[in-house]
Amino acid sequence: MAPSFTVFYGAIVTPETLTGYKSLPQCLLCVGSTGNIDWVVDDVEPNSVEEILKQKGCTNFELVKLLRGQCLIPGFIDTHTHAPQFPNIGSGQQYELLDWLEKVTFPTESKFSDVDYARRVYTNSVQTTISYGTTTCCYYGTIHLEGTKVLADIAHKAGQRAFIGKCNMNRNSPDNYREPTSAHSINATEALISYIRALPSHTSSAEPLVQPILTPRFAISCTSDLLNNLGDLAKKDPSLRIQTHISENHDEIKFTKDLFPDAPHYAGVYDGFGLLKHNTILAHGVHLEDAEIELISERKAGISHCPTSNFNLTSGVAPIGKYLDRGIKVGLGTDVSGGYSPSILNAVQAASVAAKVIASQSSEEAKAKTQFTGRKLPVATLFYLATLGGAEVCNLEKNVGSLEAGKAFDALLVDARPEAGNRALWNYDLVESLDDMLERFLFCGDDRNISRVYVQGSLIGGQEVVGGKPQH
Ligand SMILES: Nc1nc2[nH]cnc2c(=O)[nH]1
Ligand SMILES: [Zn+2]
């Protein structure tokens, strides 16, 4: 008989607040057949494991014992990436945003009218994000309905938790990569929503693993009529999340203001169409004005911080500390291929550097008055942004983002041992604490250190799966 429970015994590190996480070296964590975490017991000596399992009435189970140098953490949440841009990773870095879109990105995305091409690329995109430990991913597709359905199918089949959006764009892009009318764009969006919602639900997850998301590319790509219709869709179905870009680059901001002269600012454009809400994910927010920050905070929208992209496209450095001090939800995004890495670990490292750049330019006097503004981001905060912060941005924090009883088991089995093959972490044996291990994994780890990737209790990837390397 197949086991009804999977019980993990070993080290667990899980975020609690923006400034603190729990590191539990000897923990028992039980995942039930629904894929949710049934219970967690901390501080369990090896000779008490059997007794606790008996007390819990756990008889038919598989026991996974973690080794020294291994730990469980929640899966990473990528709050912003572009699945069709994976073929461009690492190219076109000489451009800034608007030229990069015109010369590199739109020509590549226009190829996704070919469904076979879409299938080849998207299979790789999804497998790549999973191998880097992304258990929840907010994907942009292209303008093409059929190709975007394929992206949803692939994420669904892979078992990843994902939001899939078909780009809405009916102006300011080439003729062969623009939707002819706003009616056409809305009809295709509605068709995608119906298609995704009809995918078979294969878990007892509180929400389906794969969900549609409204995706106006950015204000520049959409006429007022299209934004208005998207606002109506969002109003009709308040559960629909929305993803878009905001305030990434100075030329983009100026163009947006020229196109929408009556809006008070960039955020005001989205707000005016009912698209700035508690379930809106705003990528970038590098150059937001104070009035926009207040409005975003009031509307409870979230920011996807994409520092690798912001450095790579010379967009600037987003003042994330300021947003955190205003109580705005913040998660991390890879923004492939504005960002050249599909790894949230890389986003963590770039977020740390971005905050250090800001800190190096802030006076001690200014820093003394704030918790985050103008300061470096501690490891606990970086860990939070990569996990629970991302869950908040996706409005999924009740289900995922930390390893607690009642939540889905979306988790990574991290292997920081030399056997994982990452020489940057080779000397783990010299390091004493789980805190050191977390910090070194966040800064020096990569996909070789991600041994298993679980979503809703199912093993969907990681080195043990793709590399065939059993590591314990
Ligand atoms: N980084 C980035 N910014 C955008 N703004 C509008 N489209 C895009 C895109 O594809 N990538
Ligand atoms: Zn983007």
Q: Is the pLDDT of residue 204 over 90?
A: no
Instruction: Give the model's pLDDT for residue 280.
Output: 99
The residues with which 77 forms a beta bridge, in sequence order, are: 136
CA of 140 to the centre of ligand 2 (A): 8
Q: Is the CB of 335 under 6 A from ligand 1?
A: yes
pLDDT for 93: 85
Nearest Cα residue to 277 out of 306, 305, 237, 336: 237
When pLDDT is cut at 50, 70 and 90, the band that residue 65 belongs to is very high
- Output the pLDDT for position 429: 58
Looking at the predicted structure, is the pLDDT value of residue 469 above 80?
Answer: no
Would you state the pLDDT for residue 203?
66
Residues 418 and 302: their CA atoms lie apart, in Å, by: 38
What is the CA(337)–ligand 1 centre distance, in A? 9
CA quadruple 113, 115, 120, 125: dihedral, nearest 10:
60
Ligand 1 contact via 215 beta carbon (within 6 Å): no
User: In this predicted structure, what is the pLDDT of residue 432?
Assistant: 65
Model confidence over 364-386: pLDDT tens digits? Answer: 988 889 999 999 999 999 999 99
Ligand 1 site-directed mutation target among 82, 243, 309, most atoms within 8 Å of CB: 82
Average pLDDT over residues 95-120: 98
Residues with CB under 5 A from ligand 2 (ion): 283, 335
- Ligand 2 centroid to Cα of residue 82, in Å, is 6
Q: How far, in Å, from the CA of 101 to the mean position of ligand 1?
A: 7
Orientation of helix 145-158 relative to helix 115-131, angle to 10°? 30
Q: What is the pLDDT of residue 4?
A: 85
pLDDT at residue 107, rounded to an integer: 97
Nearest ligand for residue 139 CA = 2
* Per-residue model confidence as pLDDT tens digits over 1-47: 778 899 999 999 999 999 999 999 999 999 999 999 999 999 999 99
Host H or E run for residue 357: helix 344-360
Contacts of 16 (CB under 8 A, 6+ apart): 22, 402
Give me the residues paired with residue 81 across strands.
139
Cβ of 284 below 6 Å from ligand 1: no
Interface predicted TM-score of the whole assembly (ipTM), two decimals: 0.99
Query: pLDDT by residue (tens digit) across 414-457?
Result: 999 889 999 888 765 565 689 999 999 999 999 999 999 999 99
In this predicted structure, the answer to whether residue 471 has a pLDDT above a threshold of 80 is: no
